[in-house]
Structure 1
Amino acid sequence: MTISVVLAMLLFAMTSLLHFGMLVLAKNTCQPQWRALTLMAWVFFVAFLAHLAEILLYAGGFWLGEQFFQIGSFGGMRPESFLDYFYYSSVTFTSLGLGDIFPGGHLRFLTGVEALNGLMLIAWTGSYTFYLGLRRTLR
């Protein structure tokens, strides 16, 4: 259990820092002459890349958890390649939860943390984008 908690907290910290960095990058690379729509498109693009990177980090965590640390395994359609771990991670991150692949053992804890982290990061993106758009519109 200790390995899954440490792995989950490391992934939570890494994805949160990555997300913060990407949002700051998006804001700092915006040009003053950009219209609100261009600004939103740029922020969405950078945020989308951030979310993909965060999903990739969790996919790596699931791979490590199953293959290296052996803290659990997957049932259903077992992951056969890293893309399957990425797929499972994206379904979990977005809280879609299809159920064709499901975790066992302490990977269930990591799954719950990713779902909560994904929800928080997606909400952060939405509120930050709204804030930047509102700020630009009110100028």
Structure 2
Amino acid sequence: MTTVSRTFTVEAPPQTVVPYLADFGNAVQWDPGTESCTRNDSGPVQVGANWHNTSKIAGISTELTYTLEQLTDGLIVLVGRNDTATSTETIEITPSGTGSSITYTNDLEFNGAAKLAAPLAKVVFEKLGNDTEKQMTEVLNGLAR
């Protein structure tokens, strides 16, 4: 399993950050790897909601179906699955002054022959973690203005 985690602060308060990040369709704005992310169902964003995500990382395109598996005032867990991988994105949000402290963790588990890519994936995903932190910070700070 490849795990990448970042903790950072943003200007937007948790009551703004949580609903924004829980709607995974917004990933096109804050996730540098996401090319498109469309909701498969309708209604309120709640546990069970799911999205079709297309990402391109290190020149390789992949499609996953993400499901919102946990949602509280301070925790979002989204799990993306396809035949070759399972990506679990855990986002913890706590108040920090007038803004929020965010811990973003992505656990990526490869299936079958794709497991051979795990050592290389760690290097790629560390860089992506840095890029995600930067982009997510910019987008969330924009929501506070």
TM range (shorter): 0.3 to 0.5
TM-score normalised over the length of structure 1 = 0.32
TM-score normalised over the length of structure 2 = 0.32
Which has a greater percent of helix? 1
Which has a greater percent of strand? 2
**Structure number with bigger Rg:** 1
